[in-house]
Amino acid sequence: MRTIAAAADVSVQAVSLALRNHPTVGSGTRARIQALARRLGYTPDPQLAKLMHHLRAGRAQRFTASVCALTTRPPRAEETFCDLLLDGARTAARTAGFALHVVHVDSAELAGASLPRRLRQRGVEGVLLLPMAGLEALDALLDWREFSVVSATLSVTSPAFDRVVADHFANNLALAQRLREAGYRRPGLVIHAKHDRRCGHAITAAHAWQGMYGGGEPVRAHVCDRIEAGALRRWLAEERPGVLLAEHDQAARELRATGAVPDRLAIVSCSARPEKNGRFPFPGNDDKPREIGAVAVEKLAQKIATGQRGVPANPHTTLVRGEWVGELPAPAALRPVQGGGGPAKGRCATSRRASR
């Protein structure tokens, strides 16, 4: 690095920062130093890089850098999953020595230039993308080359960053297996079309797989823009599920509120969230949002320490497995919406032929 510094007529510290893509060195100077390093045949020593990362991590309590947790959700919007994810991120940030600021971006900032100025004033080096209000394309929001970025959501459609998210497909296959072991053969999924897209269709894909190949009976999912009593009743009469799967707890409450779901029909949550007392109001899958937030910040800290900035050429996804929570009622206490212990014989035979 001394050789590069002499050739570039800069300090050794400037070379060190430039090779780590640190924003305190101007983009033009960084590009010039990096090009010169390549021409001179510079390659980093992996053992030394590992040691320096360890030494920087050892200064954890001095808050050596600032991280921005960014979302388009309104400041006062309460959503248990997002709140728990942020709680896990805050804890991991403190451990890593980062000051974490939450920035709520409105529609004006999505189209304006005030956000980059705010982040520069705060000395932000890393950006953690939280769940958004909707599906968001954030290509023009920032000059992403200035920041290390990790996404903790599937709701950012572009750019494609490294991300840490729930393993929706595996989680819902495990949920289906739990239901089969308990004796349920006809689980029926109700999911909003927007949430289905938000999860990359992984929940509906897992539901379809278990119905066709997982040992259960195929039940067409009820994918809808909104939950309506009339459409729900028709679907229940046609598909006759033995247990309902809701995308999350709020959707489960909406299903009960319609009055179309008999009390004897159990509802399981594909994304169960604890109440303030720690209890889960519905049995189902806990996506572990705290762990998602913590792992995302750990990966972001590594990116900052090693100078990985901008949109990666080959983005990676880390999947976090969930776990079953709550007690499932015994199937013997439940009956299908219509008829006896299952679908009519003729319908069952038709379903089998269709699945083939």
Q: Is 41 left (phi over 0), alpha (psi -120 to 50) or beta?
A: left
Question: In terms of domains, do 22 and 67 share one?
Answer: no
Interior CA angle at 267 toward 330 and 203, to 5°?
115
Whether 55 is covered by a domain: the verdict is no
Question: In terms of domains, do 152 and 218 share one?
Answer: no
SS3 234: helix
Yes or no: say if 125 and 97 are a contact pair by the CB < 8 Å rule: no
Distance CA 151, CA 161 (A): 6
Question: In terms of domains, do 219 and 334 share one?
Answer: yes
Q: What is the per-residue pLDDT for 342?
A: 39
The count of domains in the chain is 3
Q: What is the per-residue pLDDT for 192?
A: 97
Q: What is the per-residue pLDDT for 230?
A: 96
Question: In terms of domains, do 161 and 237 share one?
Answer: no
239: enclosing H helix or E strand: helix 229-239
Q: What is the per-residue pLDDT for 49?
A: 62
Whether 114 is covered by a domain: the verdict is yes
Residue type, 153: T
Tell me the two tokens of residue 156.
């950012």
Whether 50 is covered by a domain: the verdict is no
Question: In terms of domains, do 272 and 201 share one?
Answer: yes
Yes or no: say if 88 and 152 are a contact pair by the CB < 8 Å rule: no
340-355 pLDDT, tens per residue?
333 333 333 323 333 3
Q: What is the CATH number of the domain that holds 142?
A: 3.40.50.2300
Among the listed residues 124, 171, 122, 157, the one whose alpha carbon sits nearest the alpha carbon of residue 292: 171
Distance CA 163, CA 132 (A): 14
Yes or no: say if 125 and 304 are a contact pair by the CB < 8 Å rule: yes
Question: In terms of domains, do 309 and 351 share one?
Answer: no
Cis amide bond preceding 289, omega within 30:
no
Interior CA angle at 27 toward 305 and 116, to 5°?
80
Question: In terms of domains, do 32 and 74 share one?
Answer: no
Question: In terms of domains, do 192 and 333 share one?
Answer: yes
Neighbours of 54 (CB within 10 A): 10
86-126 pLDDT, tens per residue?
999 999 998 888 889 999 988 666 656 678 888 888 889 99
Among the listed residues 35, 33, 46, 96, the one whose alpha carbon sits nearest the alpha carbon of residue 66: 96
Neighbours of 318 (CB within 10 A): 16
Question: In terms of domains, do 215 and 346 share one?
Answer: yes
Question: In terms of domains, do 178 and 154 share one?
Answer: no
Whether 51 is covered by a domain: the verdict is no
Which domain covers residue 34, as residue numbers? Answer: 2-43
Q: What is the per-residue pLDDT for 123?
A: 85
Question: In terms of domains, do 195 and 276 share one?
Answer: yes
Yes or no: say if 241 and 179 are a contact pair by the CB < 8 Å rule: no
Q: For the chain (length 356 residues), average pLDDT per consecutive 10?
A: 88 82 74 88 71 59 73 86 95 89 80 77 91 92 93 96 97 94 92 94 96 88 96 96 95 95 93 91 96 96 90 96 90 46 34 34
Whether 13 is covered by a domain: the verdict is yes
- With 0-12 / 13-18 / 19 or more C-beta atoms within 10 angstroms meaning exposed / middle / buried, residue 111 is exposed
